[in-house]
Chain A
Amino acid sequence: MSEQSYEPNMVLSTKEFDVVGKRPLRHDGVDKVTGRAIYGADVSMAGLMHGAVLRSPHAHARIKSIDTSKAEAHPEVRAVVTSTDFVDPGDKAVDLGEGLTRLSYIRNNVLALDKVLYRGHAVAAVAAASLHDALEALKLIEVEYDLLPPVLTAPDAMKEDAPLLHENLRMTEFGRPTDKVSNVSDHFRHEKGDIEQGFAEADLIVEREFDTSTVHQGYIEPHNTTALWNNDDRIHIWTSTQGPFTIRDTTAAILDKPVSQVRVTPTEIGGGFGGKIPVYIDPVAALLSNKSGHPVKIVMSRAEVLEGTGPTPGSHLKIKMGVKSDGTMMAAQAWLAYEAGAYPGAMVVPGGMCVFAAYDIPNVTIDGYDVVVNKPSTAAYRAPGATNAAFATESVVNEIAEKLGIDPLDLRLKNASKEGTRRADGPKFPRIGCLEVIEAMKNHPHYSAPLEGPNRGRGVAVGFWFNAGLPSACNIAVNPDGTITLVEGSPDIGGTRTSVAMQAAEVLGLPAEKVSPSVVDTDSVGFTAVTGGSRVTFSTGLAAIEAARDVREQMIQRAAKIWGVESDGVEFRKGVFHLKNGTENRMTFSELAAQIATTGDPIVGRAGVNPPGVGGSFSGNIVDVEVDPETGKVTILRFTAFQDAGKAIHPSYVEGQMQGGSVQGIGWALNEEYFMNAEGKMMNSSLLDYRMPTSLDLPMIDTVIIEVANPGHPFGARGVGEANIVPPPAALANAINNAVGVAMNRLPMNPVAVMGAIWEKNGATD
Chain B
Amino acid sequence: MQWFEYARPGTVDEAVRLLSEHGEKACVLAGGTDILVQLRGGFRAAEWVIDVKEIPALDEIAWDEASGLTIGAAVPCYRIYEDEDVKKLYPGLIDVASLIGGTQIQGRASLGGNLCNAAPSADAVPIMIALEASCRIAGTNGERTVAVEDFCTAPGKNVLAAGELLVSLHFPAPKANSGAHYLRFIPRNEMDIAVAGAGVSVVLDNGNFTSARVALASVAPTSLFVKQAGDALAGQPVSDESIQRAADIAKQAAKPIDDMRGTVRYRKHLCEVLTRRALHVAVERARRNN
Contact = CB atoms under 8 A, between A and B. Distances in A.
A631 interface: yes
A642 to B, nearest CB: 26
A194 B108 CA distance: 67
B2 A755 contact: no
A422 interface: no
A631 B193 contact: no
B43 to A, nearest CB: 11
Contact of B260 (A684, A693, A756): A684
A766 interface: yes
Category for how many chain B residues contact A: 20 to 34
Interface string B185-213: 10111111101000000000000000000
A671 B195 CA distance: 13
A671 B192 CA distance: 12
Contacts of B190: 694, 696-697
Contacts of A630: 273
Interface string A737-766: 000000000000011100110000000001
Contacts of B269: 755
B266 A697 contact: no
Point out which of A750, A751, A752 has the most chain B C-beta atoms below 10 A from its C-beta.
A752
Interface in A663-677: 670-671, 675
A691 B192 contact: yes
A691 B193 contact: no
Contacts, number: 50
Nearest to B265: A766
A135 B262 CA distance: 33
A67 interface: no
A688 B192 contact: yes
A633 interface: yes
Contact of B263 (A136, A691, A694, A752): A752
Nearest to A695: B190
Nearest to A690: B260
A696 B185 contact: no
A87 interface: no
Nearest to A766: B265
A697 B187 CA distance: 9
Contacts of A30: none
Contact of A671 (B1, B187, B262): B187
A683 interface: yes
A552 to B, nearest CB: 52
Interface string B260-290: 1111011001100100000000000000000
Contacts of B270: 631
B266 A752 contact: yes
A633 B185 CA distance: 9
Given A132-B1, A696-B190, A631 B260 contact: no
A136 B42 CA distance: 11
Contact of B259 (A683, A756, A766): A683
B188 A671 contact: yes
Which of A683, A688, A755 gathers the greatest number of chain B CB atoms within 10 Å?
A755
B189 A688 contact: no
Contacts of A696: 188-190
Contacts of B185: 631, 633, 751
Interface string B210-232: 00000000000000000000000
A689 interface: yes
Given A630-B273, A631-B273, A766-B265, A691 B2 contact: no
A132 B265 CA distance: 43
A239 to B, nearest CB: 24
Nearest to A683: B260
28 contacts: A132-B1, A132-B3, A135-B1, A136-B2, A630-B273, A631-B185, A633-B185, A671-B188, A683-B260, A688-B191, A688-B192, A688-B193, A689-B193, A691-B188, A691-B192, A693-B188, A694-B189, A694-B190, A696-B189, A696-B190, A697-B189, A751-B185, A751-B187, A751-B195, A752-B262, A755-B266, A755-B269, A766-B265
Given A631-B270, A751-B187, 14 more contacts: A633-B187, A670-B187, A688-B193, A691-B187, A691-B188, A693-B188, A694-B188, A694-B190, A697-B189, A697-B190, A750-B187, A751-B195, A756-B266, A766-B265
A-B pairs, 4 with minimum CB distance = A675-B260, A696-B189, A683-B260, A696-B190
Interface of A: 132, 135-136, 630-631, 633, 670-671, 675, 683-684, 688-689, 691, 693-694, 696-697, 750-752, 755-756, 766
